[in-house]
Amino acid sequence: MVQFYLLSVLMNIVAGYALVSYNTEPMGTKFDGVREFLRDSTIRLVLGILCTTVGFFKLLTVMRGDIPVIGDFVPSVAGMAAGFTMLLEFYKANSKVTTQTLEKLDAIFVANSRIVGIVAMSSGFVHFLFANVLFL
């Protein structure tokens, strides 16, 4: 469906930018306000939930002419990874409970959040430019 295609592209780009720009210092540009907006924990929680949900549903619905599941695999996995990273950051900041599994997930996703963000943004841009390419 075209709606999930648009949502997937937007969520991947916005979530990727939120992950990439989280620890950057203000540079005096017009994007400083956007960076500050995306640093808010509630906004990151909502964006993480939306990005994970859209990524999951993007696996189930594909564009016309694509192969089911495989056709949009990379953007949907990138969206789910970016959303999960933001949800994990929120949980880690607001919870005092730690487990071995949480520490492993933290070491994989949150420690590499810039890489996850770059992959999500790249996936969103490439998915926008090449709509019917296999795996994109």
With the C-alpha atoms ordered 23, 25, 26, 28, is the resulting torsion angle positive or negative?
Answer: negative
134 within some domain: no
pLDDT for res 86 = 95
6 within some domain: yes
- Burial level of 22, CB count in 10 A (0-12/13-18/19+)? middle
23 within some domain: yes
45 within some domain: yes
pLDDT for res 19 = 93
93-102: long-range pairs with CB below 8 Å, 24+: 93/41, 94/41
pLDDT for res 115 = 95
pLDDT for res 122 = 93
- Burial level of 129, CB count in 10 A (0-12/13-18/19+)? exposed
pLDDT for res 128 = 87
Low-confidence ranges of the chain (pLDDT < 70): 1, 63-71, 132-136
118 within some domain: yes
The Cβ of residue 33 has, within 10 Å, a number of other Cβ atoms equal to 10
135 within some domain: no
pLDDT for res 65 = 66
pTM of the model: 0.87
pLDDT for res 35 = 85
Q: Write down the residue that tokens 């964006």 correspond to.
A: 47
Whole domain around residue 36: which residue ranges?
2-129
Q: In the structure encoding, which two tokens stand for residue 20, read together?
A: 């990439």
Q: Write down the residue that tokens 């996936």 correspond to.
A: 123
121 within some domain: yes
123 within some domain: yes
pLDDT for res 129 = 87
Number of domains the chain is built from: 1
